[in-house]
């Protein structure tokens, strides 16, 4: 390990995203990201496997948060409500990094390979939710259905939030999306 | 174009799947697929872009079927019921190729890249459904939510069907899955 750099990870994330927005993801190198952040390539590779992972490393954090939220929720909550609460907490975390999240989404939207990667990461979050529900005693296929339907509600809310020019509240959009999910599946 | 070969496409599909099951997807070449089918490589490439597309070419057919079913359904159907009917029709088509579909799924399950490709193809079917609902006048975000939740119900039913050793009816599993989706989103 080299010497400690204050907030190296955050500086690399910020530098990478700036360059992806300015030049496009394809046209940015790890050397340029490190230079912009005032760090070395070696430091970059201590934090990220490659330039793509700068955009997706956060999904492991979100997965851990979701699993903890489901495990720590009240015993009495219906599974769909446990999933909604867990995703609201996730939404609050994403909202804290509002500008970064929106710029990240613009970079992903512009690149087919990144869009596919995002889809796969979101599917893995549905798997985390289903596993956490099974640990709480929810049987299959209810666990998978609740997790997948919940992620569908989350994705729709997240897309709306990304596309909003203003500063709407992501956790509130998630709650609204779950209400709409309930309505559309009931046939209203 | 070369001379016409009777059912070349079907023979190539069958030969490819046999080889993928016997040797693994990675260890099979297009030359071997063509040889097993008694056809030339040139004929293979008239039908498929590469050996991966043998497994995924069907999803374009399913997408067309879904769009037609939604467009041609009764005006009075609730969007979720229109989606369920369209997916039941798709399930009937998949059921007709039961052994092929199950073997195909085993090949996909054994390969990370193929699992990702399957995820992307299923997501594109959700996009087809959402677009077909919007054409029928369903507003956003209801169209996307209905399509995504419906695909979640379909995926869960399909996984159960693939894993069943017996010959259970896929359209019926899909209907059951929609009933369960309604129950879990209502909090039961």
Both tokens assigned to B40: 């030339």
Are A27 and A88 in a shared domain? no
In a domain, A38, yes or no: yes
Output the pTM of the full model.
0.87
CB-based contact B70:B83 (threshold 8 Å): yes
Lowest mean pLDDT among A1-15, A112-126, B142-156: A1-15
Q: Is A85 on the interface with B (CB under 8 A)?
A: no
Are B65 and B124 in a shared domain? yes
Are B176 and B110 in a shared domain? yes
Both tokens assigned to B35: 């040889």
Give the C-alpha separation, A173 to A181, whole Å.
12
Hey, are the CB atoms on B187 and A81 less than 8 Å from each other? yes
Residues in B closer than 8 angstroms to A160, CB to CB, are: 141
Residues in A closer than 8 angstroms to B155, CB to CB, are: 148
Report the 10 Å Cβ neighbour count for A6: 6
Residues 121-140 of B with CB under 8 A from A: 123
Are A140 and A47 in a shared domain? no
In our burial notation (b when 16+ CB lie closer than 10 A, e otherwise), range B86-97 reads: bbbbbbeebbee
Are B40 and B18 in a shared domain? yes
Tell whether the torsion through CA atoms of B66, B69, B71 and B76 is positive or negative.
negative
Are B92 and B48 in a shared domain? no
In a domain, B1, yes or no: no
Per-residue pLDDT tens over the stretch B30-71 = 999 999 999 999 999 999 999 999 999 888 889 999 999 999
Both tokens assigned to B138: 């369903």
Residues 6+ apart with CB under 8 A from B178: B80, B84, B150, B153
In a domain, A3, yes or no: no
In a domain, B3, yes or no: no
**Residue A1 pLDDT greater than 90, yes or no:** no
Provide, rounded to the nearest whole percent, the portion of chain A with pLDDT above 70: 95
Task: Please give, one letter per residue, the 3-state secondary structure of A38-93.
Answer: CCCHHHHHHHCCCCCHHHHCHHHHHHHHHHHHHHHCCCCCCHHHHHHHHHHHHHHH
In a domain, A2, yes or no: no
In a domain, B95, yes or no: yes
The Cα-based distances of A187 to B14, B38, B156, B178, B180 in angstroms read: 41, 51, 20, 11, 14
Residues in A closer than 8 angstroms to B151, CB to CB, are: 152
Are A12 and A68 in a shared domain? no
Locate the chain B residue with the closest alpha carbon to A181: B145
Per-residue pLDDT tens over the stretch B148-162 = 999 999 999 998 898
What pLDDT score was predicted for residue B2?
Answer: 52
Are B99 and B165 in a shared domain? yes
- CATH number assigned to the domain comprising residue A160: 1.10.357.10
Per-residue pLDDT tens over the stretch A85-101 = 999 999 999 988 888 88
Q: What is the dihedral of CA A15, A21, A24, A26, to 10 degrees?
A: 40
Per-residue pLDDT tens over the stretch B71-126 = 998 888 899 999 999 999 999 999 888 888 889 999 999 998 899 899 989 999 99
Are B67 and B138 in a shared domain? yes
Are A89 and A157 in a shared domain? yes
Tell whether the torsion through CA atoms of A123, A125, A127 and A129 is positive or negative.
negative
Omega before residue A112 within 30° of 0, cis: no
In a domain, A1, yes or no: no
Give the C-alpha separation, B175 to B182, whole Å.
11
- CATH number assigned to the domain comprising residue A22: 1.10.10.60
DSSP states of B48-87: -SSTTHHHHTHHHHHHHHHHHHHHHS-TTS-HHHHHHHHH
Residues 6+ apart with CB under 8 A from A119: B119, B120, B123
Confidence label for B1 from pLDDT (cuts 50, 70 and 90):
very low
Are B119 and B71 in a shared domain? yes
Both tokens assigned to B135: 């054409």
CA distance A116 to chain B (A): 7
Are B84 and B149 in a shared domain? yes
What pLDDT score was predicted for residue B58?
Answer: 86
Chain B contact probe: residue of A184, A186, A187, A188 with most B CBs at under 10 A: A184
Mean pLDDT of A91-116: 90
**Residue B28 pLDDT greater than 90, yes or no:** yes
Mean pLDDT of B17-37: 96
Domain count, chain B: 2
B164 in helix, strand or coil?
coil
In a domain, A125, yes or no: yes
What pLDDT score was predicted for residue B167?
Answer: 62
Per-residue pLDDT tens over the stretch A33-53 = 999 999 999 999 999 999 999
- Residue A10 Cα to chain centre, angstroms: 16
Q: Which domain holds residue B73?
A: 57-185
The residue whose two tokens read 């369920």 is B84
């Amino acid at each position: 390990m080299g010497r400690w750099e204050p907030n190296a990870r955050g500086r690399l994330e910020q530098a990478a995203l700036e360059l992806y927005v300015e030049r496009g993801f394809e046209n940015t190198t790890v050397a340029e990201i490190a230079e912009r952040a005032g760090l070395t390539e070696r430091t970059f590779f201590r934090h990220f496997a490659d330039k793509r992972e700068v955009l997706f490393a956060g999904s492991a954090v979100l997965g851990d948060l979701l699993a903890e939220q489901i495990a720590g929720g009240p015993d009495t909550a219906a599974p769909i409500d446990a999933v909604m609460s867990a995703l609201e907490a996730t939404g609050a975390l994403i909202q804290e990094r509002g500008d970064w999240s929106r710029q990240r989404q613009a970079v992903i939207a512009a690149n087919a390979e990144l869009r596919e990667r995002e889809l796969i990461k979101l599917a893995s979050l549905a798997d985390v939710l289903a596993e956490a529900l099974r640990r709480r005693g929810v049987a299959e296929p209810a666990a998978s259905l609740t997790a997948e339907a919940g992620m569908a509600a989350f994705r729709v809310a997240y897309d709306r939030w990304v596309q909003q020019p203003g500063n709407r509240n992501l956790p509130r959009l998630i709650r609204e999306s779950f209400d709409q999910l309930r309505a559309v599946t009931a046939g209203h």
